[in-house]
A and B are shown apart, each in its own frame.
Chain A
Amino acid sequence: MSGADDHGHKMAHLWLVDDETCEAITRGDDVAPRFAPLATAARRIEAVGDGPAPPASAELRALFAGAGRTGPVAAGPRPLGPTGQVSGRVASLGLGAKVALGVSVAAAGVVGIAGAGAAGVLPDPVRDVVDFICPIDLPEPSTPADERDDRSPDGTTGPRGSGSDGSLGSADPATGRDPAAGTTTTPAPGPAPAAEDGLDRATETPAAPHVPTTTTTIVGGEDADAPDAPDGPPSTTPAPSDVPGHTPSAPTTVVASGATATTGTG
């Protein structure tokens, strides 16, 4: 071995630090004098963490102020609610689907607001704004009812607004029975011609001689979902006792001497 090698070996020995010394240096305990510079260096490194707190970001300041959080810090990830689930589904859509969905939602919003404004359910100031933004000229809700009244086959005037606001005029709003007529009345809205067609067809069958001269039209309670009666009770609801074997939820049924023709109402 050369002298240089001996010197290098000696220096390498000086640089070796055993585990016990490492822990002592880390803890800040006293160490052998030859490790004093190393212990000083460790303290200098620790001192870097003694400075002032760095400036907090805007997001962090908002967190300190309680923004974005209304109560205790939630434990774990927040479960997705209905809105979150919808957001997740939307997020999983492709770009084209997102664009199409956005256009659809915007269109639905405009139509919905315009429709609400036209229907008169918005406060006046809001309706003014809606009218200004969405000047859509929609027909007055009472107009179709008047027209339907004109189409009444018996020439009587039906209840105003039936099918739009749910009011039934003189008829009992619960049963749709007109106390004066003694029979269940049918306001004869839009689908009425369809019922007449069914009766006409019944008169063309071999059972034509048995076709009664009067008809009982039963409108099921589910007609409340029909477009003509969006919010109110069904236009005519029969008393179950008046119609043997009738299922209240059945659609419009024309009883014709044992032959039953079922027609759609909408």
Chain B
Amino acid sequence: MEQRDRFEGRFDAVLASARDGEPRALAEIFTTLSPLVAGYLRLQGSREPDDLTSDVFVGVLRNLGSFTGDESDFRSWLFTIAHRRLLDERRRLARRPVPEPLDSVPEAPALDDVEAEASRSITDERVRRLCESLVPDQRDVLLLRLLGGLTVDEVAATLGKTSGAVKALQRRGYGALSRRLQHEGVPL
């Protein structure tokens, strides 16, 4: 899985420099992995994905000394923290709902504009809507696997589930996506 080596084999060196407080190494970890984390949070429906991404990396980079492992382990650790911060945000918003601004609600396509809709390039918004159609547990599994690059066992550890449960959620999640794509009739 190419997602798992974004540092081109230099992860250990970058991590060692970051542990020594080298600013360039700290920034490299952020610039390399933050798009994945921000994308994960965005597709999970985070209200402030960019701010939350920064919060995640502040926590991660300040605790580099407590981390041991390779890049795969680091990504698992990173996304575990990201997922927990996401749950914190959801709990916080559940206590104090924030009204959604009107300009963030996309317009529904007109019925006679199907052809234009079909020819339109796939955007992040459409992918987000596709993910939004999934049951939350299925979405967690698929996004951690595809964006986080986590293995089934790592996803299980992150979500506090068994590997068998994660595999079942993965099957159902892909099945739900397939059904949705089939119903839309518009290739991605």
Contact = CB atoms under 8 A, between A and B. Distances in A.
Contacts of A48: 39, 42-43, 124, 127, 147
Interface string B148-174: 000000000000000000010011001
Interface of B is mostly: helix
A66 to B, nearest CB: 6
Nearest to A66: B23
Contacts of A27: 1
Interface stretch (B46-54, B94-102, B108-116): B46-54
Contacts of A37: 178, 181-182, 187-188
Contacts of A57: 51, 54-55, 58
A24 to B, nearest CB: 11
Contacts of B21: 66, 69, 71-73
A36 B141 CA distance: 20
A69 B143 CA distance: 34
Contacts of B81: none
B2 to A, nearest CB: 7
B130 A41 contact: yes
Contact of B177 (A41, A52, A60): A41
Contacts of A19: 167, 170-171
B26 A49 contact: no
Nearest to B152: A23
Nearest to B26: A64
Contacts of A21: 174
B65 A74 contact: yes
B96 to A, nearest CB: 21
Interface residues of A, number: 45
Interface stretch (A8-16, A120-128, A169-177): A8-16
A93 B34 CA distance: 40
Given A64-B26, A72-B65, A74-B65, A45 B38 contact: no
A26 B124 CA distance: 19
A26 B141 CA distance: 11
Interface of A is mostly: helix
A40 interface: yes
A49 B1 CA distance: 14
A38 B174 contact: yes
A6 interface: no
A120 to B, nearest CB: 45
Contact of A49 (B36, B61, B62, B142): B36
B104 interface: no
A51 interface: yes
Contact of A54 (B34, B63, B127, B182): B34
B123 to A, nearest CB: 9
Contacts of A107: none
Contacts of B63: 73
B119 interface: no
B143 A76 contact: no
Interface of B: 1-3, 18-21, 23, 26-27, 30-31, 34-36, 38-40, 42-43, 49-51, 53-55, 57-58, 61-66, 122, 124, 127, 130-131, 142-143, 145-147, 167, 170-171, 174-179, 181-182, 187-188
Interface of A: 11, 14-19, 21-22, 25-28, 35, 37-38, 40-42, 44-46, 48-57, 59-60, 63-66, 69, 71-76
Given A38-B177, A45-B142, A53-B38, 15 more contacts: A40-B187, A45-B146, A48-B42, A48-B127, A53-B35, A54-B35, A54-B50, A57-B51, A63-B26, A64-B23, A66-B23, A72-B65, A73-B61, A75-B65, A75-B66
7 contacts: A17-B175, A18-B171, A26-B146, A53-B30, A53-B35, A59-B54, A73-B65
